[in-house]
Amino acid sequence: MNKIFSFILLISSLSCLGQNIQWENGNWFNGKGFEKGTFYSTHGILTRKKPAHIDSIADLNGKYVIPPLAEAHHHGIDGEDGLDEKIQTFLHDGVFYVKNPNVIPDLLTPTVRNKINQPQSIDVVFSNGGLTSTGGHPVDLHDMLAKQGVFKRMGPADMENHAYFIIDSREDLEKKWPMIMAGHPDFIKTFLLFSEEFEKRKNQRGFKGLDPEVLKMIVQKAHHYGLRVSTHIETAVDFKNAVAADVDEINHIPIPRKEFSADLSAYVIDEATAREAARKNISVVATVLEGSIRPGRDSNDLRNITANEMHNCRTLYHAGVRLAVGSDGISGFKPMTTVLNSLLYMNKNQFFDALTLLKIATENSAYTIYPKRKIGHLKEGYEANFLILNQDPLGDFNRITDIYLRVKQGKVLF
Ligand SMILES: [Zn+2]
């Protein structure tokens, strides 16, 4: 039997047949390396215990099995337009879990909801509109996009309390909280930008976010309601303020903007703050590649950005912070970028060795999206979600693009 023929047979048998599958002769990632052996999937769950009845046997022929990739920061799942294609792009890249930290919930129609969080699709969590101050990011961005007609039936006047919420004080928070909760967010997104100059920037628009004192109130409120809080940051002081506010997750790492400070130390996370973030169990989602593709950068800027990203990522990692990765991808680009591109960029620039990068890509990033689900590891009782790679990704991290099969809840995805 030739290879292609057996491949087709394997797919057709495993996607239609029963629930109990024996996955034999695999090299399974155990968090430290690869271990030869057999796992069973029964009703979508992994187990080492052989079920009484086996429906199918899949011979993995020494191929390498890893947990799926997780995209911890992406805005692309934002409505009906091009949705099927976006889902296919994620699955093609091996990404099963996606977090959207700012979206207009009105555009997540029943059609959208029915196409995600299904066994054959990607699983997505949403923050809905983020919380910022008057004139803060992303107010102007959404007003501009709405004027361009990007949001279908929604114009600039519909953006407030949908695409974002303005929270300048405790009063605002109390008044608007019921509205925020009415959208059933999976978590709360907040914005800090250049917060060291919060007072100075009060009367300007853009390049600013919440008052750090208001952020503290939001975190307390959200935690009372069982919701995690993610905070967008720009500078090292924003990072520090987010840690002080006890947020659950920090989005982005400081990216040098010489227009704000020629002294790039404003963008360097110090070790003590990194250790404090680790002590508080705060996750950080680095959106590395996104920093390099902003327009108006010359090659010197790009070198500085990459060096700064790498330095910050290593500081966080060595301090024991749970480091995750997202692409900050958005709709409108073809092909749409995913976290796979960010990971390959980190590998190319040697941020970390292949083992560390693999753990960041699978274990850490999945945790930041679904902290309560048994995913991100190939262990007894965990969901039977995995990628089967043709070659060992620890020998060369780029091999994570060489996917033989994608399996979700014990079933092969086409
Ligand atoms: Zn973003």
CA of 73 to the centre of ligand 1 (A): 6
pLDDT of 8 reads 46
pLDDT of 291 reads 54
Q: Which of the four pLDDT bands, split at 50, 70 and 90, describes residue 140?
A: very high
213-254: pLDDT as tens digits? 999 999 999 999 999 999 999 999 999 999 999 999 999 999
Q: Number of H helices and number of E strands within the chain?
A: 13, 18
CA of 328 to the centre of ligand 1 (A): 5
pLDDT of 331 reads 86
**Region 164-169 average pLDDT:** 98
Q: Which of 55-59, 134-138, 292-296, 365-369 has the lowest mean pLDDT?
A: 292-296
Q: b/e string for 12-29 if b means 16 or more Cβ within 10 A?
A: ebbeeeebbbbbeebbbb
| Residue pair 46/39 in contact by the 8 Å Cβ criterion | yes
Q: Which residues contact 339 (CB under 8 A, 6 or more apart)?
A: 69, 70, 71, 72, 74, 93, 95, 325, 326, 327, 361, 365
Rounded Cα distance between 211 and 241, Å, is: 10
Rounded Cα distance between 194 and 208, Å, is: 6
| Residue pair 231/250 in contact by the 8 Å Cβ criterion | yes
pLDDT of 259 reads 72
pLDDT of 5 reads 37
61-112: pLDDT as tens digits? 999 999 999 999 999 999 999 999 999 999 999 999 999 999 999 999 999 9
Rounded Cα distance between 317 and 306, Å, is: 16
pLDDT of 1 reads 34
DSSP letter at 383? B
Confidence (pTM): 0.95
Give the end-to-end CA distance of the chain in Å, rounded to a whole number.
22
CA of 160 to the centre of ligand 1 (A): 18
Q: Is the pLDDT of residue 53 over 80?
A: yes
Rounded Cα distance between 377 and 100, Å, is: 22
CA of 17 to the centre of ligand 1 (A): 40
CA 116 to chain centre: 16
CA of 252 to the centre of ligand 1 (A): 8
Q: Is the pLDDT of residue 15 over 60?
A: no
CA of 102 to the centre of ligand 1 (A): 7
pLDDT of 349 reads 95
> Is the alpha carbon torsion for 144, 149, 155, 158 positive or negative?
negative
Percent of the residues in the chain that have a pLDDT greater than 70, as a whole number = 94
CA of 299 to the centre of ligand 1 (A): 24
CA of 236 to the centre of ligand 1 (A): 18
CA of 247 to the centre of ligand 1 (A): 17
Rounded Cα distance between 265 and 196, Å, is: 14
